Structure 1
Amino acid sequence: MLEKERLQEKERSPGLFGRLLRKVDGCVVRFIFDGKMDESMVTVDDPYERTSERMHLFSGSEPVCGRVVLTPKGTYRHNGILLELVGVITTFGESEEKIDFMRQEKKFEPDTFCSMTSLEFHFTAPREYESYRGTNARVSYYVRATIYRPVKNITEVEEVWVSKVDAYLSGTQSDASRHPSYFRETVFGPQSISMDVGVENVLHIEFKYDKKIFHLQERVLGKVTFKVADMDIRCGEVGVVRKEFIGPGKSTDAMQSETLQKFEIMDGTPVVGEVVPIRLYLRSIPHLTPTYPNVHNCFRVLYFLNLVLITGEGKRYFKQQEITLYRRHGQEVPTGSMTQSP
């Protein structure tokens, strides 16, 4: 049985300077979210930094509400407090760039207190994009508390994870996983897509699959038919490729390609007329996300089915076809992640 790789959990406590500053400043800051328990936090993997982090999960329309608890060591005076929900897009290229694409705030007047004090917040601003961890791009949401002090301001943040269900595609696309013949169906309907791949006069194949739009826990059903097979083929693979484009959607955008998972579908040279079936279950692919066609004109994330044929000499012939992935109800937890057990 395959086991999910466990990454090192990211340190959530403040660094040494932050701990010293808070000790000198004389106040501890803590975030509490209404209706959210530590046991229900999701574990979000960052496979590129090789770390994982636990966060509270929110839907795109769910209010982010709770309170910031301030515990002073004694009498504590401030010049005002600002609580914010901030959405940040970060892209990595020749330099790191950050864009705040959404912000909602609540201000508190200057005050003095000497016991534990709670400041409530209720943020309802729409969150247009999902949280995302990519190779060269990220979407992050933070609840941020800024305490204005006479000497130095204090800032504490708590990141939350936002997951969005695609209501339109959920309502217009049938859920093949609910079909009684889901695990044995071999009939291709009117939504099926075909691709012809040829290498001069020595290879001609037809790559056919059942449709182009899939939810994150669906399966891809397909077949490869060999019409001409006068080539020494060692093996064939089908994989899912993610392409991350950094830029406003032009042909000059920087692109990062990553094969998330691949499967061997054949071994050895086929004969003319041979049909190789394909069943690829998307829910088994870690770190799969929906397709993001345009994230604030900063980046986009597209997915492709990749058919690769490898000859006995090691040459590789491939054909890619774009597919669209979306999130349905019940798929809010990030793919490849899990909730924390109590």
Structure 2
Amino acid sequence: MSFFSFGQSAEIDVVLNDAETRKKAEHKSEDGKKDKYFLFYDGETVSGKVNVTLKNPGKRLEHQGIKIEFVGQIELYYDRGNHHEFFSLVKDLARPGEITQSQTFDFEFTHVEKPYESYTGQNVKLRYFLRATVTRRLNDLSKEMDIVVHTLSTYPELNSSIKMEVGIEDCLHIEFEYNKSKYHLKDVIVGRSISCW
């Protein structure tokens, strides 16, 4: 005899409206593998459907609401518990109630400003993702879908070299020289230093 059911009684899936035609971009994961994700640019609309599929048709699923979030987040690897959300949009898809059959909910985030490019480095990860959630009393049902964002920008007209000098009078003199002052995330910083005693 069972009084409570703690297992998930439904599955959630997020599907983009233009999934079949949208470009994909390779992006490095934390473990160094390269995976392909849907590619978006700054200002583009993100739209699609959230499918809630009941595992046992005919059984009802009570919920406290269904929502989709579009999140931009920075994760620092040395502080994994804390995430900084620099961007978050939420759309409520359904009010609290119950689902008696599988349902599909449409969503659209129109002309979304995405200020930074997706990035995975040794110390930090900047990611964008969609998260669909069916809120429940005991355990929420949730599904995330990562996307990659590229920002299209023009290269700076003036990108002169930088020269800095640091020193202690009559003791130490160090010069730093870099070939330019503005860099893209994929650029290599090239420079030289001269020490004089």
Identify which range, 30-39 or 55-64, moves more after superposition.
30-39
Matched ranges for 1:3-82 at <5 A: 24-37=7-20, 40-46=23-29, 49-72=31-54, 73-74=56-57, 75-82=60-67
Displacement after TM superposition at 1:54 (Å): 2.2
Unpaired runs of 5+ in structure 1? Answer: 1-20, 174-189, 196-206, 215-241, 243-289, 292-300, 307-318, 321-342
Displacement after TM superposition at 1:156 (Å): 1.3
Is 1:141 matched up with 2:128?
yes
Aligned to 2:137: 150
Cα 1:191–1:27 shift into 2, 3 Å: closer
- What is the CA RMSD across the aligned residues, in angstroms? 3.2
Cα 1:194–1:80 shift into 2, 3 Å: closer
Q: Which amino acid aligns with 2:142?
A: T
Whole-Å separation in 1 of the counterparts to 2:11 and 2:35: 22
Q: If you compute each CA radius of gyration, which structure gives the higher value, 1 or 2? A: 1
- Report Cα offsets for 1:285-314 as digits up to 9, x if no partner: xxxxx24xxxxxxxxx974124xxxxxxxx
Whole-Å separation in 2 of the counterparts to 1:65 and 1:84: 12
119, 130, 133: which one pairs with 1:132? 119
144, 147, 169: which one pairs with 1:160? 147
Percentage of identical aligned residues: 20
Q: Which amino acid aligns with 1:112?
A: E
Q: Which amino acid aligns with 1:49?
A: D
Work out whether residues 25 and 37 of structure 2, in 8 Å CA contact, stay in contact via their aligned partners in 1: yes
Aligned to 1:15: none
Cα 1:37–1:152 shift into 2, 3 Å: same
111, 114, 137: which one pairs with 2:100? 114
Unpaired runs of 5+ in structure 2? Answer: 1-5, 164-176
Cα 1:155–1:191 shift into 2, 3 Å: closer
Cα 1:157–1:191 shift into 2, 3 Å: closer
Displacement after TM superposition at 1:99 (Å): 0.3
Q: Which amino acid aligns with 2:64?
A: N
Q: Which amino acid aligns with 1:161?
A: V
Displacement after TM superposition at 1:164 (Å): 0.5
Cα 1:302–1:110 shift into 2, 3 Å: same
**What's the TM-score, normalizing by structure 1?**
0.43
Where relative contact order (Cα < 8 A, 6+ residues apart) is larger, the structure is 2
Displacement after TM superposition at 1:149 (Å): 1.5
87, 102, 115: which one pairs with 1:102? 87
Displacement after TM superposition at 1:152 (Å): 1.4
**What's the TM-score, normalizing by structure 2?**
0.72
Matched ranges for 1:240-251 at <5 A: none
Displacement after TM superposition at 1:148 (Å): 1.2
Tell me which protein shows more helix as a share of its residues. Answer: 1
Displacement after TM superposition at 1:26 (Å): 1.6
Cα 1:213–1:71 shift into 2, 3 Å: same
Displacement after TM superposition at 1:115 (Å): 2.9
Aligned to 1:304: 189
Whole-Å separation in 1 of the counterparts to 2:130 and 2:162: 47
Q: Which amino acid aligns with 1:56?
A: F
Q: Which amino acid aligns with 2:108?
A: H
Tell me the SS of whatever aligns to 2:138: coil
Displacement after TM superposition at 1:145 (Å): 1.1
Work out whether residues 162 and 181 of structure 2, in 8 Å CA contact, stay in contact via their aligned partners in 1: no
Q: Which amino acid aligns with 1:70?
A: V
Tell me the SS of whatever aligns to 1:120: strand
